[in-house]
Amino acid sequence: MRGLYYFTIDQRFEDNPLLQKAVEECEEICFCAKAPSSQWGYFRQRFTWESLEYLKRTLENNNNTLLILENPLKEISLASFDRVYICKMETAYEKEEYSLVPNELLVTMRTDRLSDSPPTPLPSTFTPFRKIVETSYTPSPFTPSPLQLGKACSLKIKTCESPSLSPFHPSSSYPFKGGEHQAKQRLSHYLYRDQLIEHYKETRNGLTGADFSSKLSAYLALGNLSPQAVYREINNFEQTVLANESTYWLKFELWWREYFRWVHDQYPHLFFLNSGIKNPAKQKAQIPNQELFSQWQEGKTPHPFVNAFLREFLATGYMSNRGRQITASYLVNDLQLPWKWGAQYFEDNLVDYDVYSNWGNWLYIAGVGNDPRPNRYFNPDKQQERYDPNGAFRKIWL
């Protein structure tokens, strides 16, 4: 059996049951991945390149290699393979891409999720969903790295090369490199070495530094870590070290991530529409003013706290969860600009971009998603007084 394995959002060697399946079934196997888009911002490109380069080195250490291409499923002749393995996504762009693979060749597995299926019917808000799933959930068993990859197939094809990289901004809250090894190091640091998870609920709305939150989001987005692996390690920490409200709260956030995936699959087209998935008649007024939007992007709005977050984003490709809520609310409610403009801007530039979490959260803030409250507003003055009363965060970025 000759197989093609296309790494998408499962860029890891360990704890990857689809990879294990491919290796078990194929005597000869070719590995490929898509190069980061030149339309993305520098930091998203950088992190993705680092992830792919680490994966490539791992495969080379196992007598194989990784073909990094602009359009793998178009550049590789699929007719020469018996199977094509993909951690499949259900979003429209990806589904169009995967349609290039004949159905009889395609083998897929959803390894980016905690569970294989959602509650039926899917609750319209998060809390009922969480109460159903968290009580009976058991993470999937750990899958070790493949011992052998089989014979490497040789394809004469020009691959993409990673660009040169610049140093991180000295005040970046996300000074992390992509890749499976870095992901496991970060998880170990946050849970076991410094046991920062013990205070996660109290520190998660912090604004500066690397350790106020787990910073696992980019690793999860690319699949350097599986959500099951993170969940298993939290359970292990609770059983061997400490269980408290903070350890629970990190699992709580994983369930939010999970929920947005199932919401998308229920409303795959509405998920990306201005009117969202509910109450289209009550959609907020939107004024498509490009000049105002440019001021928001550049951190040149009338509000300094909002500006600080957006300038941090320009300089680092990262923004705290609190910052994302405040800047999104300001764009939608104060500037009355289209929420989709903000969602697309985040998509292009976030180092930890995840299609489901990004668009699901923007729907939520815009009042056309899964928020049970009709008008959720983050008053920037009150937020500044609460989270940056002494101006320390503003001083860094303004």
State the burial class of residue 213 (Cβ atoms within 10 Å of its Cβ: 0-12, 13-18, 19+).
buried
Task: Give 175-229 pLDDT, tens digit per residue.
Answer: 999 999 999 999 999 999 999 999 999 999 999 999 999 999 999 999 999 999 9
Domain boundaries, the chain: 2-111, 112-138+180-266, 270-397
Tell me the pLDDT of the chain averaged across its residues.
95
Tell me the pLDDT band of 159, cut-offs 50, 70 and 90.
very high
Are 57 and 48 in contact by the 8 Å Cβ rule? The answer is no
State which H helix or E strand residue 69 sits in. strand 66-69
List the CATH code of the domain at 2-111. 3.40.50.620
Tell me the pLDDT band of 281, cut-offs 50, 70 and 90.
low
Buried-state track 52-88, b at ≥16 Cβ within 10 A, e below 16: bbbbbebbeebebbbbbbeebbeebeeeebebbbbbb
Are 4 and 78 in contact by the 8 Å Cβ rule? The answer is yes
Report CA dihedral (276, 223, 191, 131) to the nearest 10 degrees: 40
CATH class for domain 112-138+180-266?
mainly alpha
* pLDDT at site 83: 98
Task: Give 52-86 pLDDT, tens digit per residue.
Answer: 999 999 999 999 999 999 999 999 999 999 999 99
Across 120-133, average pLDDT: 96
CATH class for domain 270-397?
mainly alpha
The rounded distance, in Å, linking the Cα atoms of 16 and 20 is 6
Tell me the pLDDT band of 283, cut-offs 50, 70 and 90.
low
Query: Which SS3 state, helix, strand or coil, does residue 6 take?
Result: strand
Task: Give 229-253 pLDDT, tens digit per residue.
Answer: 999 999 999 999 999 999 999 999 9
